Structure 1
Amino acid sequence: MELTYYRKGDYLFPNLTIESEPVNIGKYGMLRKTFLKENRKNWYQSMLLTGKLEKHLMEIEKAAQERMEVLMNGLLIQYPAPDKEADQMKWVAHMNNLQQMAEESVLTELVYN
């Protein structure tokens, strides 16, 4: 491995680049990142420096999305939605309530622990 350097004043600095492709982290991954940064500073720094943070955030995002789907299906079975054609606003309110219930569980289980 051959390193090249550039001069800045009296110092030589190595030309180092990080080869990584940009990763799109969703809502739950970003919430997890903020939680780690604010509440688990040492763990956040360690994962950031070792390059494991993005992988961890992607795993959290994927697990949260899968858990949301499972919970929504279970909640729809337990609390069936009203007829969408008869009363759309009631259906929307019901679905929003179910989504909030599922999201609260996902945030507690995966993001904020």
Structure 2
Amino acid sequence: MQAEDALFLQNYDATLKRVSQCKPPDPENISGVLISVPKHLSNLMFTVLQKMQKTVDYTSVTFDPNTAHCNLILSDDLTSVRYIDEEQTLPDNPERFDMFACSGLSGF
């Protein structure tokens, strides 16, 4: 054992008492450090949406009934589609899609 170690052990109780008196401040009481994550994330998504709406122009889409898959029903104005489980009997067109790449068509 070295002299420094003996000195540390002699003053151990006093050192322990000083350490217990020095507590870091409670994180709840520190102002400006913590942020409300849900508030800022939802605000960020809203801000991004607003910026996108300013930069993206609305463009209407017209679907071609001659190329629609047999499980898709087109609206009368040809601007929306919906999926049905049973296949329709449609004329055989070489342009008609025989499969579709997206199964989440319920959002259209």
Flag whether TM exceeds 0.5 (same fold).
no
Using CA pairs below 8 Å that are at least 6 residues apart, which structure has the higher relative contact order?
1
Name whichever structure is richer in helix by fraction. Answer: 1
TM range (shorter): under 0.3
TM-score, L = length of structure 1? 0.27
TM-score, L = length of structure 2? 0.28
